[in-house]
Homo-oligomer: A and B are copies of this chain.
């Protein structure tokens, strides 16, 4: 395989989805990619709730919307709700830091795996961090002490044309000490 950069370039945040449902086996491949992700001390501090049931989906969508943000989520065929679970770190590490010190980084890694696995399968995605967390706790019966970090939107894009990516230049974000 010599086209990981092409896969990365093809992944973009999609805010307009086709109504076509997402095949369960494709969602399972996304989750398998997350399952195999690395994490601090292999702690795997993650749990994924896949929401495709129409009535529940509509409520999850509403919980991501406020102040004019995320109106597009009404049309998302599948959500993956990402929670931060207790991280079992090694005792030597715990002597110097909190159990959750690396958990958000680990969730980011797993999220990247999901989004890239989606792209590879012709799906599109959008990572949403803006939400009414309390409402989602109640809706999905998630324990209060379990932070809900991200809602991943997954589906087929209504439009296949990619936008140019706006990013800082490499020289703005890197230094070589060689």
Q: Are B178 and A53 in contact (CB under 8 A)?
A: yes
Copy total for this chain:
2
Q: Mark A30-52, 1 if CB is under 8 A from B, else 0.
A: 01111111101010101111111
The interface residues of chain B lying within 8 Å CB-to-CB of A175 are 47-50
Q: Once the chains are docked, how many angstroms separate the CA of A173 from the CA of B85? A: 10
Q: Mark A135-153, 1 if CB is under 8 A from B, else 0.
A: 0000010000000011000
Q: Which of A5-55 contact B (CB under 8 A)?
A: 5-9, 11-13, 24, 27-29, 31-38, 40, 42, 44, 46-53
Q: A157 contacts the other chain (Cβ, under 8 Å)?
A: no
Q: Are A120 and B2 in contact (CB under 8 A)?
A: yes
Q: A94: shortest Cβ distance to chain B, in Å? A: 11
Q: Are A46 and B173 in contact (CB under 8 A)?
A: yes
List A residues at the B interface (Cβ < 8 Å): 1-9, 11-13, 24, 27-29, 31-38, 40, 42, 44, 46-53, 56, 67-69, 92-93, 95-96, 101-102, 104-113, 115-117, 120, 127, 129-130, 140, 149-150, 165-168, 170, 173-178
4 pairs of A and B residues whose beta carbons are closest in the complex:
A108-B108, A112-B112, A105-B108, A104-B104
